[in-house]
Amino acid sequence: MSSPLGETLRRARLSKNVTFEDAERVTRIRREYLEALEREDFTKLPAPVYARGFLRSYAGYLGLDPGQLMPFFPVGHVEEPRLDPLPEVDQPRTWNMNGVLAIGVVGLLILLVVALYAVGHEDTSPQFQTREPAALTGSNNSQKVITGPEQTSNAPANAGPASALPDLAGQSVDDAVSIVQETGASVSVIYVKQGDVPVGQIVNHQPGAGAAVGRGDVVTLIVSQ
């Protein structure tokens, strides 16, 4: 029995008299992926992390609630390659007194540097988190920076290997953040005034489309305000 996912999308599109060309132009999702969603031909879609982002964007564009459609999206419809773990090799370690002394000296130096840094950092760090960036000098644009990953607590606990970052330009900030976090990467958001670009829409991002990102990486989203 087929799910109501594809039929719901198709009826919503037809009720709004929207063509695939219209949807592709606005959502910036390729027509073949939009058609595959309506046909529920999930083999034509890219990896699940991107396909779920496409479904959220397309459903939102058609005025549907993505949260009600996501349960009908099959989990793991694409078999991702698994790499066999490399065999562990135990090698005997030999130590001599000169090596032990050298390691001890290096360790003491590291502890001394960390202690000096901590003392100096206490005098300068308290105001960092509360300072608001001022308007850019000589420009009509202004920007706000979230100094740290946004909503990193929602990132998958068992994120897999690095994934290629899709083109997020034109996506809403919520959809873009969700797509990035499903790769395991953290998110930093910069808001700028950008001409005729709608508020809350991605203008650009770093690293760019196609870059491999994963846990430990930070993706910076530039958002129109």
Q: What is the separation of C-alpha 32 from the centre of its chain, rounded to a whole number of angstroms?
A: 23
For residue 144, which amino acid is it? Answer: K
Predicted local distance difference test score (pLDDT) of residue 71? 87
Q: How confident is the model at residue 5 (pLDDT cuts 50, 70, 90)?
A: confident
Residue 128 has pLDDT above 70, yes or no: no
Q: Tokens at residue 217, please?
A: 């990486």
Give 15-26 pLDDT, tens digit per residue.
Answer: 989 999 999 999
26-30, 80-84, 89-93: segment of lowest average pLDDT = 80-84
Q: Tell me if 217 sits within 8 A of 162, measured CB to CB.
A: yes
- Determine, yes or no, domain membership for 86: no
**Any alpha helices (H) in 72-215, and if so which ranges?**
97-122, 173-182
Q: Tell me if 37 sits within 8 A of 69, measured CB to CB.
A: no
Q: Tell me if 54 sits within 8 A of 60, measured CB to CB.
A: no
- Determine, yes or no, domain membership for 101: no
- Determine, yes or no, domain membership for 128: no
- Determine, yes or no, domain membership for 190: yes
Q: Please give the share of the chain, as a percent, with pLDDT higher than 70.
A: 69
Residue written as token pair 């009509």? 140
Average pLDDT, rounded, for the chain = 77
Give 40-58 pLDDT, tens digit per residue.
Answer: 888 888 888 888 899 999 9
* Single residue among 31, 57, 72 that ends a domain in this structure: 72
In terms of Cβ atoms closer than 10 Å to its own Cβ (0-12, 13-18, 19+), residue 177 is buried
Give 143-176 pLDDT, tens digit per residue.
Answer: 554 434 444 444 444 555 788 889 998 999 999 9
Give 196-211 pLDDT, tens digit per residue.
Answer: 888 899 999 999 988 9
Residue 32 has pLDDT above 90, yes or no: yes
Q: Please give the share of the chain, as a percent, with pLDDT higher than 90.
A: 29
Pairwise CA distance, residues 89 & 92, whole Å = 10
- Determine, yes or no, domain membership for 126: no
- Determine, yes or no, domain membership for 157: yes
Structural domain boundaries, residue 27 = 5-72
* Single residue among 45, 72, 99 that ends a domain in this structure: 72
Q: Tokens at residue 51, please?
A: 């396909």
* Single residue among 37, 72, 107 that ends a domain in this structure: 72
The domain tally of the chain equals 2
Predicted local distance difference test score (pLDDT) of residue 130? 33
Handedness of CA 7, 9, 10, 11 (dihedral sign): positive
Q: At what angle do helices 48-61 and 5-15 cross, to 10 degrees?
A: 30
Q: Dmax of the chain from CA atoms?
A: 81
Residue 11 has pLDDT above 60, yes or no: yes
Q: Tell me if 172 sits within 8 A of 201, measured CB to CB.
A: yes
Give the count of beta carbons closer than 10 Å to the beta carbon of residue 118: 10
Predicted local distance difference test score (pLDDT) of residue 140? 53
Residue 133 has pLDDT above 70, yes or no: no
Q: How confident is the model at residue 31 (pLDDT cuts 50, 70, 90)?
A: very high
What CATH number has the domain bearing residue 149?
3.30.10.20
- Determine, yes or no, domain membership for 61: yes
Tell me the pTM: 0.34
What CATH number has the domain bearing residue 60?
1.10.260.40
- Determine, yes or no, domain membership for 33: yes
Pairwise CA distance, residues 193 & 144, whole Å = 10
